[in-house]
Amino acid sequence: MLDIEDVSISFGEEQAAVSEVSMHIQEKEKMVIIGETGSGKSVLLLGILKLLPDSADVKGHIRFQGESLLDKKKKEMQKVRGTQISYIPQGSGNGLNPLYPVGKQIIESIRRKDKTIGKQDAKARMLRLLSEFGFNDVRKIAESYPFMLSGGMRQRALIAMGIAADASLVLADEPTKGLDTERIAMVIDAFSKLQDKTLLCVTHDLRFAKAVASRITVMYASEQMESCEKEEFFEHPLHPYSQAMLKALPENGLFANMGFAPPKSGEILRKGCHFKERCPYYREKCSQEKPPFVTMGNRKVRCWKYADEA
Amino acid sequence: MNRQVKAGMTILAVILFVAVFAPVLSPHDPYELGIPYQIPSSEHILGTNDVGQDILSELFYGARVSLTIGIVSALVVTVIGTTLGILAGYYGGKVDRIISQLTNVAMALPSLPLTIVLVAFMEANLRNLIIAICITSWTSTVRIVRSRVMQIRELPFVKLETTMGASSVYIMIRHILPNLGEIVFVRAVMEVANAMLTEASLSFLGLGVLGQKSWGSILHYAFYRNGIINGYYWWYLPPIFCISFSVLGFMLLGYYGKKDIKKKHKKNRKEKISYA
């Protein structure tokens, strides 16, 4: 469905925002990218949609249903967006136009794909979509302006709008950001309605990932650290960074020994493993050579601890 | 609706009524010659001018020219200014540079002298007058709209439209233009006032439409036929009042959508008391 091969994205001379990321997403698979702020997750999503500013330099291959997205022209890309690949933005943002009722905006997305659909049909579909996403009084919601809805409702409306055009691949960028636990539960519920779609979701909310994902990829400071099935990730994380993240969850003892924020300076990132400064298993080799992304069974990990064994 | 807007609309309603029904309301034909320099009387409420034309009737007919020029130029200027502003703000880059440079050049031109030169060389009719007024006055609208569009363009919902495959033209018309509503309206209203003043200035200088009654041209004759020196106040004061009031009317209309200044003040005071 979506093949990402050795994709690197950099802005000018600076350290790449995304370096050599590869993943292959099967039809109906739910891939979740986990990583902290600044690890390059969102940039990767925008790179897939070709919505990065002109200063961005994207290398590698991105193939969607066999067609290369990077070779597509602006006009062709515009046709792909929304109707074949849809995008759900961050939760707290005002992704809806404040001047139009919610229902009207969803109808617009429906009609963008299916231009022949009648007004009544489009409206019926919009109402059905809203009720699917757990709204009770759909007619009232459809006539409400975005400011009249709460954050969780807006986020669900955004998801409804994102998939309104019936795209087969859904990209979601931190859909739970800025929402409280109850709203997150609503969003999780909304995502569970997307069973027949392929999902590529970016988040730093591990519990959300656990609920939504079938496969997980961990990114740290622009690099892919680990890639595996969901169960494997939560039961036996391999990479030291994955282990540290899971230990920090409340149910695992809230053990947060993360040291400091990810290194931003190019000096540290230029050589060796990107995680070396925070790694409990640090050894000499880690600061000299970059570990390869080794395959271990049906999972992949980038760490010298395992690379030597493999 | 706040008080300023109500006041403005009342003034404009009166002027519009007078302009539309000028032939019915006028006590005399404004072009009819009679006894010159009459002081106000029951026959001629505002007296007569140097060739004996009834000044009240002149004012009534003059409202037509002033309003037409004001509103038409404002429409033209707003459409041009908003379009260029949106294009420059949305596309940025080369388009923005070209439009901005064009705006800079137009802004650097001294507008009234240029208008005077243009009017003097073109045939003096209503259309040419409007063209001359519009030729430099679109610049500030472009500037304001452009900077606002640059802000709106970065808002999440506009970005989201792009990710959903909406075309640029669609985004500009459906999502950016409606969000510009208030500033475009205020600019348009102020542009009406501006154009009316320019028209008055041109007519005063004798560059208005020949033979057509306008408030500026009444002033022109009052000045050049020694009305002001001789103290014929009934000749030169009424057009000044008319111009000032209609400009005021449009300016007040520009308060549309803002909270009533006085009411807001009162409310704040009440809140303070209740907290104390």
- In chain A, pLDDT over 90 holds for what percent of residues? 17
Question: For A256-281, what is the mean pLDDT?
Answer: 69
User: What does each C-alpha distance from A13 to A10, A266, A273 come to in angstroms?
Assistant: 8, 10, 20
Nearest to B175 among A83, A93, A97 (CB): A97
Q: Residue for token digits 């439009």?
A: B99
What is the chain A residue with the closest CA to B157? A95
Listing DSSP states for B205-267 in one string gives TT-S-TT---HHHHHHHHHHTTTTTTT-HHHHHHHHHHHHHHHHHHHHHTTTTSPPHHHHHHH
What are the chain A neighbours of B174 within 8 Å (beta carbons)? 108
pLDDT for A97:
86
SS3 B156: helix
What are the tokens at B102?
A: 């064009």
Task: Compute the distance between CA of residue A83 and CA of residue A105 in angstroms, rounded to an integer.
Answer: 15
What is the chain A residue with the closest CA to B163? A81
What does the pLDDT look like over B213-258, one tens digit per residue? 889 888 888 888 888 888 888 899 999 999 999 999 998 988 887 7
Nearest to A82 among B155, B164, B178 (CB): B164
Nearest to B164 among A94, A99, A165 (CB): A165
pLDDT for A154:
85
Please check whether residue A102 is in contact with residue A141, taking contact to mean a CB–CB distance below 8 angstroms. Answer: yes
pLDDT for A11:
85
Chain B nearest-CA distance from A212, in A, is 22
- In chain B, pLDDT over 90 holds for what percent of residues? 42
Per-residue confidence at B276, pLDDT binned at 50, 70, 90? very low
Backbone angles phi, psi at B193, to 5 degrees: -55, -45
Task: Compute the distance between CA of residue B154 and CA of residue B90 in angstroms, rounded to an integer.
Answer: 10
Per-residue confidence at A32, pLDDT binned at 50, 70, 90? very high
What does the pLDDT look like over A167-219, one tens digit per residue? 889 999 888 887 788 878 888 888 888 888 899 999 988 889 999 999 999 99
What are the chain B neighbours of A108 within 8 Å (beta carbons)? 174
Query: If you average pLDDT over every residue of chain A, what do you get?
Result: 85
Whether residue A51 has pLDDT greater than 90: no
CB atoms A81 and B167 under 8 Å: no
What are the chain B neighbours of A94 within 8 Å (beta carbons)? 155-157
Task: Compute the distance between CA of residue B80 and CA of residue B85 in angstroms, rounded to an integer.
Answer: 8
What does the pLDDT look like over B1-18, one tens digit per residue? 788 899 999 999 999 999
Please state which of the four CATH numbers 1.10.8.60, 1.10.3720.10, 3.40.50.300, 1.20.120.1150 is assigned to the domain occupying B3-275.
1.10.3720.10
CB atoms B164 and A78 under 8 Å: no
Please check whether residue A225 is in contact with residue A21, taking contact to mean a CB–CB distance below 8 angstroms. Answer: no
What are the chain B neighbours of A81 within 8 Å (beta carbons)? 162-165
What is the chain A residue with the closest CA to B175? A97
Please check whether residue A187 is in contact with residue A20, taking contact to mean a CB–CB distance below 8 angstroms. Answer: no
Q: How many CB atoms lie within 10 A of CB B202?
A: 27
User: What does each C-alpha distance from A141 to A101, A150, A157, B197 come to in angstroms?
Assistant: 8, 11, 9, 49
Query: If you average pLDDT over every residue of chain B, what do you get?
Result: 87
Please check whether residue A218 is in contact with residue A224, taking contact to mean a CB–CB distance below 8 angstroms. Answer: yes
